[in-house]
Structures are given as C-alpha cells and as structure tokens.
Amino acid sequence: MIELRDVHKSFGDHAVLRGVNLTIPKGESMVIIGGSGTGKSVTLKSVLGLVKPDSGTILVDGEDVEKAHRDTFLSHFGMLFQGGALFDSMTVWENVAFRLLRGSLKRPKAEAREIAIDKLRRVGLRSKVADQFPAELSGGMQKRVGLARAIAADPQIIFFDEPTTGLDPIMSGVINDLIREIVVEMGATAMTITHDMTSVRAIADKVAMLHDGVIQWTGPVGEMDAADDPYLRQFITGSAEGPIEAVR
C-alpha cells in the first residue's frame, strides 16, 4: 500500500504540492489525472525519492520512504518513463536486464538475457529486437522495451509516467492493454499519471484528480463519469469553460 499524507513541495516560490493526501491499496491500479504542470510527476517522483518533499509523509507498505534502505526499497519498484529513458549506449536486452546484470539481483549473463527476451516477448516484441539499440526502434517499440525493463525484476509496485504520450491511437491502445494485463497478471500495485482519458478508462481501478497541488477528487473509475466535481467534469469533457483556467 502507498500512502501520501499532507505532502508539500515547492520549487523556489512556486508551490507545486500543497498537501497531497492519497492512499493506493495493495494490488490496485490508481491513475492520477490532471493538467500539465499540476504536480503529477512531482507526486510520483516523491514516492520514488527522486524528489524530496518539503513536508508530509510518504509510506510504502507502512515504511517511511525517507527512512527506508534505498536499494531494498527501490528493488520493489518498476517504472516506465514518459520518453522510455532507455540507455542508448546499451542494446535492448541489456536495457531490459539492467537490474539483473548488477547489484543485489545480479544473475549470470546468459540467464539475465533469457529473462530479458522472455519479458520482451511478454510485451509483444520479437527476440531479434534484443540485440538492437534503442535508437533503431520506433517510439511504440521503445515504450514496450521500457515496459519490459519495468517488469524485468517482477516488481511489487509499478509506476507509469504518461505511458501513451507521443503514440498513435492504436499503439496507445496496445500499451494500455499491455499495462492492464501485466498489472493484473503480476498482482502489482500500479500508479499511473496521465492526461489521456482513454488510458484512464483502460488502466484504472481508481482515479485521483490532482489540481492546484491537492487531490480534488478521488474514487473508483466507474464513478468518475457520474461525479459532480466541477474540476473533474471539466477535465473529462475537455472544456475550456470551468474552474480550471485554460491559460496557465
């Protein structure tokens, strides 16, 4: 379970998070929605320890993120980055098996490669892709490789940062379906940030709407369309009229 309690974060004079409270039960898929610059990425990076909150508490399975042993803590996580964040000096399989080639999860090279190829197949990529470099792949394929890397060490918690950004609608659908399948199959806790409503409907068990540094609305995805929160309504309908200023 992931719990954020009254998390604040400012950059200079700009307060990005102004008291975020959010609970993601174990095995659930939470999608955080919100406009650009509302603090979605900062929220996600705060949980991972990539950004240090100014105040508040973040607990993962009851353990304070700031006090946890970093390596052990991070070994439970997998993350798919918005742009893939693949290491371009390495081949695809070395990217996927990165965690399995070093550190506490280190395996023999041949075994790590086998696992990497297996994970690549799981995300719908042929084994011949394994020896290519990320720059030789299309955007959709890079996303899949990123997804394979995120699940390579069978993490208990997976984060997805804008998983469909920059992809065509069909490839977005493929990635959404893959994410949903993998999360269910692995029984992992998932936290996704996106502003793609198709993704939300495909991936989420629960939805949280982040606006102005706080969670404006949260609830099951099935209740989202019937909710009368004006911020959520405006975001779902994509209207320029409403409490969320179109010009920010």
Partner 1 sequence: MDVTAPVAAIGRSTLRSLAALGRVSIFTAQTLRHILIPPYYPREIWHAVIAIGWLSLPVVGMTAVFTGAALALQIYAGSGRFGAESVVPQIVAIGMTRELGPVLGGLMVAARVASSIAAEIGTMKVTEQIDALVTLSTNPMKYLTAPRVLAATLTVPVLVAVGDAIGIMGGYLVGTTRLGFNEAAYLKNTFDFLQFWDVGSGLVKGAAFGFLIALMGCYHGMNSGRGAQGVGAAVKAAVVASSVLILASNYLLTEAFFGS
For binding to partner 1 (CB under 8 A), which residues are involved? 45, 48-50, 70-71, 74-75, 77-79, 81-83, 85-88, 98-99, 102-105, 149
Inter-axis angle of helices 139-151 and 169-186, nearest 10 = 10
Choice between 36 and 104, CB closer to partner 1 = 104
Q: Which is nearer to partner 1, 67 or 69 (CB)?
A: 69
Q: Which is nearer to partner 1, 66 or 225 (CB)?
A: 66
Please count the residues of the chain: 248
- Smallest gap, in angstroms, from Cβ of residue 93 to partner 1? 15
With respect to partner 1, which residue has the nearer C-beta, 38 or 142?
A: 142
Least Å distance, CB 157 to partner 1, is 11
Cβ–Cβ < 8 Å for 60, 73: yes
> How far is CA 124 from each of CA 17, 42, 78, 188, 190, rounded to the nearest angstrom?
37, 31, 18, 20, 20
Comparing CB distances to partner 1, the nearer of 74 and 197 is 74
Complex with partner 1: residue 79 or 210, whichever CB lies closer: 79
Q: How far is the CB of 214 from partner 1 (least distance, A)?
A: 25
Closest approach, Cβ 142 to partner 1, in A, equals 11
Sign of the alpha-carbon dihedral angle for 106, 107, 113, 118:
negative
182 Cβ contact partners less than 8 Å away, ≥ 6 residues apart:
122, 123, 147, 151, 158, 188
Query: Minimum Å distance from CB 153 to partner 1?
Result: 9
Sign of CA dihedral 98, 95, 84, 171: negative
61 phi, psi to nearest 5 deg: 50, 40
Minimum CB distance to partner 1, residue 89 (Å): 8
